[in-house]
Amino acid sequence: MATPASFFQQQHLARRNSRVMVLLFLLATAAVITAVDVVVAAIYAWQSWSEALSSGPRTFAEAFAQVPIGVHLTACIAAAFIIFLVSAINVTRLGSGGAAVAKMVGGRRVEATTRDPFERRLLNIVEEMAIAAGVRVPAVYVMEGERGINAFAAGWDISSSVVTVTRGALETLSRDELQGVIAHEFSHIVNGDMRLNIRMIGVLAGILFIGSIGQFLMRSARDSDNKGSMQGYVVGLALFIVGYVGLFFARLIKAAVSREREFLADASSVQFTRNPDGIAGALDQIRTAARGSSIAGRYAEEISHMFFGQAVRLRLASLFATHPPLEERIRRVNPQFVSAEYRRRRAVAVAAGPAEAPAAGAPGFAAVQAGGRREGDIGIAWGRSAAESAKLVGALEPAKMDYAARLLKALPEPLRVSLREPDGARAAIIALLLAPKEEVLLAQLEALKSASLAALAERAATAAVYTRDLGPAYHLPVVDLALPAIRSTSDWDKQDLLRAIEAVINADRRVSLHEFVMLTLVRHQLGLHSPVPGTRKLAEVKAEVRILLSVMAHASIRVDAKGARAEALHVAMAAGATEMGLPEEVAHTALSLDIAEAALGQLKQLAPLEKARLVKGLFAAVTADGTIRVIEAELMRLVGAVLDCPLPPLIDEIDPAALAP
pLDDT value at position 12? 65
Name the helix (H) or strand (E) containing 139: strand 139-143
Q: What is the pLDDT of residue 149?
A: 94
Considering the domain architecture, whether residues 342 and 457 belong to the same structural domain is answered as: no
Average pLDDT, the chain: 81
Q: Are 351 and 288 in contact (CB under 8 A)?
A: no
For the chain, counts of helices (H) and of strands (E): 27, 6
pLDDT (average), residues 467-475: 82
Mean local confidence (pLDDT), 282-309: 86
On whether residue 356 sits in a domain, the answer given is no
Query: Is 171 a catalytic site residue?
Result: no
- Of the candidates 615, 483, 485, the one whose C-alpha atom is nearest the C-alpha of residue 545 is 615
Strands (DSSP E) contained in 373-428 are 379-381
Yes or no: say if 250 and 28 are a contact pair by the CB < 8 Å rule: yes
- Pairwise pLDDT comparison (249 vs 38), residue with the higher score: 38
Instruction: Report the range of poorest mean pLDDT among 312-321, 335-344, 404-413.
Output: 312-321
Instruction: Please answer whether residues 258 and 322 qualify as being in contact, where contact means their C-beta atoms are separated by less than 8 angstroms.
Output: yes
Position 317 confidence tier, pLDDT thresholds 50, 70, 90: low
CB-based contact 75:36 (threshold 8 Å): yes
In whole angstroms, how far apart are CA 233 and each of 51, 225, 237, 447?
20, 12, 6, 71
pLDDT at 4 over 60: no
Q: Are residues 600 and 464 in the same domain?
A: no
Strands of 139-143's sheet, edge to edge? 108-109, 139-143, 162-166, 151-154
Same domain? 298 vs 438: no
pLDDT at 654: 54
Q: What is the pLDDT of residue 373?
A: 41
Asked if 385 and 445 sit in the same domain, the reply is no
Give me the mean pLDDT over the 594-598 stretch.
84
Instruction: For residue 434, give the 3-state DSSP assignment.
Output: coil
Amino acid present at 282: A
The verdict on residue 455 lying in a domain is: yes
Instruction: Tell me how far CA of residue 317 lies from CA of 288, 311, 325, in angstroms.
Output: 18, 12, 9
The span from the CA of 57 to the CA of 64, in Å, is 9
C-alpha distances in Å from residue 141, one per residue of 167, 368, 610? 10, 40, 34
- Say yes or no: 82 and 205 in one domain: yes
Q: How far apart are CA 166 and CA 306, in angstroms?
A: 13
**pLDDT of res. 171:** 92
Q: Are residues 93 and 23 in the same domain?
A: yes
Give the C-alpha separation, 129 to 173, whole Å: 18
How many structural domains is the chain composed of?
4
Which of 480, 502, 525 lies at the terminal end of a domain, its last residue? 525
Amino acid residing at 212: S
| Same domain membership, residue 544 and residue 634 | yes
Instruction: Please pick, among 185, 515, 544, 632, the residue that the annotation labels catalytic.
Output: 185
- The domain boundary, picked from 525, 542, 563, lies at 525
Alpha-carbon span 559 to 567, nearest angstrom: 10
Could you give phi then psi for residue 509, rounded to 5 degrees? 65, 25
Last residue of a domain, one of 486, 508, 525: 525
**218 neighbors 236 (Cβ within 8 angstroms):** yes
- Is residue 360's pLDDT more than 50? no
Which residues does residue 536 pair with via DSSP β-bridges, in sequence order? 606
Q: Is residue 2 included in any domain, yes or no?
A: no
Residue 288 has pLDDT above 80, yes or no: yes
Q: What is the mean pLDDT of residues 544-566?
A: 75
Q: Note whether residue 365 is domain-resident.
A: no
b/e code 309-323 from CB counts within 10 Å (16+ = b): bbbbeeeeeeebbbb
The answer to whether 401 touches 129, Cβ cutoff 8 Å, is yes
Question: pLDDT digit string (tens) for 203-239?
Answer: 777 777 777 777 677 767 666 555 556 666 777 777 7
Q: Are residues 216 and 303 in the same domain?
A: no
Quick one: average pLDDT of 471-484? 86
Q: DSSP per residue over 155-217, as a string?
A: -SSGGG-EEEEEHHHHHHS-HHHHHHHHHHHHHHHHTTHHHHHHHHHHHHHHHHHHHHHHHHH
Q: What is the pLDDT of residues 41-57, one digit of tens each?
A: 888 888 777 776 556 67
Pairing of strands 379-381, 627-629: antiparallel
Instruction: Evaluate whether residue 228 is within a structural domain.
Output: yes
**What is the average pLDDT across 583-599?**
70
H/E run at residue 61: helix 60-65
pLDDT digits (tens, 9 = 90+) for 386-422: 888 988 888 888 888 888 888 888 888 899 889 989 9
- Cα separation of 447 and 453, whole Å? 9
For 158-167, how does the pLDDT look when each residue is reduced to its tens digit (9 = 90+)? 877 899 999 9
Residues 6 or more apart in contact with residue 371 via CB below 8 angstroms: none
Residue 436 has pLDDT above 80, yes or no: yes
Which range has highest mean pLDDT (134-148, 339-353, 566-580)?
A: 134-148
Domain range for 480 is 412-525
Condensed to tens digits (0 to 9), the pLDDT of residues 71-106 reads 899 989 988 898 888 888 887 777 777 888 899 889
Query: Residue 488's pLDDT band (boundaries 50, 70, 90)?
Result: confident
Q: What percent of the chain has pLDDT over 70?
A: 82
Which among 293, 288, 58 has a CA at the least distance from the CA of 169? 293
Mean pLDDT of 589-610: 81
Q: 659 pLDDT band (50/70/90 cuts)?
A: very low
**pLDDT band at residue 582 under the 50/70/90 scheme:** confident
Residue 252 pLDDT level (bands cut at 50, 70, 90): confident
Length of the chain, in residues: 661
pLDDT of residue 653: 58
Contact 169, 181 (CB under 8 A): yes
CA 175, CA 173: separation in Å to the nearest integer? 7
Tell me, what's the pLDDT at 445? 92
Count the alpha carbons within 13 Å of 308 in the hemisphere toward its beta carbon.
35
Residue 503 included in any domain: yes
Same domain, 466 and 503: yes
The reply to whether 655 and 561 lie within a common domain is yes
End-to-end CA gap in the chain: 44
Instruction: List % helix, strand, coil for the chain (3-state, nearest 5).
Output: 65, 5, 30
554 and 640 inside one domain? yes
pLDDT value at 11 more than 70: no
- SS3 label, residue 352: coil
Contact 279, 184 (CB under 8 A): yes
The pLDDT of residue 529 is 56
Output the pLDDT for position 148: 92
My answer on whether 387 and 419 are in the same domain is no
Of 107 and 190, which is predicted with more confidence? 107
Between 115-119, 403-407, 551-555, 584-588, the lowest mean confidence (pLDDT) is in 584-588
| Contact present, 51 and 167 (Cβ < 8 Å) | no
In a domain, 106, yes or no: no
Single-letter residue type at 636:
M
Task: Quote the CA–CA distance of 230 and 234 in Å, as a whole number.
Answer: 6
Q: What is the pLDDT of residue 120?
A: 93
- Band the pLDDT of 429: cuts 50, 70, 90: very high
Q: How far apart are CA 626 and CA 623, in angstroms?
A: 5
Stretch 488-494: mean pLDDT: 88
Q: Which of 27-41, 323-337, 447-461 has the lowest mean pLDDT?
A: 27-41
Q: How far apart are CA 440 and CA 446, in angstroms?
A: 10
Give the closest residue to 457 by CA, choosing from 415, 504, 412, 494. Answer: 504
